[in-house]
Structure 1
């Protein structure tokens, strides 16, 4: 990613989805994420969190990734809103949720989501998290187990090094972080947007730090998803699934990181089935089934 002084960084969601390079990107034209009829702000832990709610039924929280926003789930919202009350929020310092603090962490954002659920008087919700949203979903289930009924995460990682992240991607992100930090030093008056993008890139480069043992605390049934050519190494995704007591593992063939976009039909069907079917323990003779 080439640094451009006026924009500083290519938005991270553009990089992972590829759609931002299209003049008629569906993410630019969708009403999701900018729907005045349903969009609201909640005072959450020192900032105003923007959120939208669609549909009726059991509550479902869907969490976007680094540099993303509500509209990243334009293929999931209409599908799940048929049977669920779907809650989506722009995470702190992303989308319409402006945050001027100089640092950010995954624990901070997962606590924000917990506070949003309190604001909405919701407990025991189904949760879908993509990428950074998957990390936040895991932390929500670890630290606020009363909030999560079932959890599906795709493209999540527990730590920020090349044992978890594809080495090429890891090196690229770390180099970009160094370039961005150096560029910021040379700009006399960086804009709030520039500072915000560097903050998010720093988060991506140096966090999270979740121990495998912490995943033992997750008591809800969990579907762990990854593409077979994801930016997160398949071995790491397997580690996550194996550390969660009630987990299923789904490695999607011929897929990268953007499973909710490029594998949207499969993703919606399998994740939807996971939420509707009771969890079953598959052991001993059941392994033949």
Structure 2
């Protein structure tokens, strides 16, 4: 999942791709004017960005998803064109915001595609509001901080607003922010998010929502952690032995760091598209 400084360079380096003809709008959600863009047609699908990101920095994945779905790309609290609040930024709060957004625009149930912080928000949404989630694509996600890479865990206590204030990252944030003077409190809330308890193993083990886990082989969580999550979701068993495959799936992108995951659109869609369609490769024992 996102963890602050790691993603900053990706935000600044990402170009603004053409997303076809998305329609931007606002909706009142839990005291915010939440900005979203709607594109495509088909079954509803909600896209959730990573920390310090916005809709454009998600790259071309939104446009590709809109080829087969009615896509709602959201900008969460304090991100992009959505205003910040005097309220902690936490995963339960953000999941509640997504649920309220769905109610506000009349979406009963949707597929969810989230990256990093957005993936953890989607996972929390599936835990807290399972009736609203059809299928979840969780890209670069952790369900427990113990699964984070040791180097990242060591960095968290050193985070301070001064690392961000006055940087090009602040300039990029101000381009969309409704309150350009609100960067410091926003960063303080984002740093506090890194210290929020994250230990959802028991909840993940109870999920009945199909989940596609995607991560890089050099991501911010260990490979062992990703495999443990897959097993909690019922995966990791032998196929070709007469038992049905798990509805959840695991995909690891080679030679890929955390910030390199989201820009590999063709590779991502090669995993996401058949998952959302419920398609599985046929083995020699399949009829």
TM range (shorter): 0.7 to 0.9
- Separation in 2 of the partners of 1:66 and 1:99? 13
2:39 matched residue in structure 1: 54
1:200 pairs with one of 190, 212, 224: 190
- Separation in 1 of the partners of 2:249 and 2:18? 33
- Separation in 2 of the partners of 1:218 and 1:144? 11
- Separation in 1 of the partners of 2:233 and 2:118? 17
- Separation in 2 of the partners of 1:31 and 1:266? 19
- Separation in 2 of the partners of 1:99 and 1:31? 27
| 1:179 to partner: Cα distance | 6.2
Task: Spell out, residue by residue over 1:238-275, the C-alpha distance to the aligned partner (whole angstroms, 9 max, x if none).
Answer: 12211124421112111111354342210122111111
2:86 pairs with one of 83, 101, 114: 101
Q: 1:278 to 1:262 in 2, by over 3 A?
A: closer
Contact 1:17–1:261 (CA under 8 A) maintained in structure 2: no
| 1:124 to partner: Cα distance | 2.5
Q: Any residues of structure 2 matched to 1:49-128 within 5 Å, and which? A: 49-128=34-113
SS at match of 2:143: coil
**Cα root mean square deviation, aligned:** 3.1
Structure 1: stretches of 5+ with no match in the other structure: 1-10, 182-190
Contact 2:55–2:80 (CA under 8 A) maintained in structure 1: yes
| 1:216 to partner: Cα distance | 2.3
2:29 matched residue in structure 1: 44
| 1:211 to partner: Cα distance | 2.4
Structure 2: stretches of 5+ with no match in the other structure: 165-180, 235-246
Structure 2 residue 253 is the aligned partner of structure 1 residue 252: yes
The structure with higher relative contact order (CA 8 Å, sep 6+) is: 2
1:132 matched residue in structure 2: 117
SS at match of 1:97: coil
Q: 1:202 to 1:242 in 2, by over 3 A?
A: same
Q: 1:88 to 1:14 in 2, by over 3 A?
A: farther
| 1:174 to partner: Cα distance | 2.4
TM-score by length of 1: 0.79
TM-score by length of 2: 0.80
Contact 1:114–1:144 (CA under 8 A) maintained in structure 2: yes
Q: 1:258 to 1:147 in 2, by over 3 A?
A: same
Contact 1:13–1:65 (CA under 8 A) maintained in structure 2: no
1:274 matched residue in structure 2: 275
Contact 1:177–1:202 (CA under 8 A) maintained in structure 2: no
SS at match of 1:228: strand
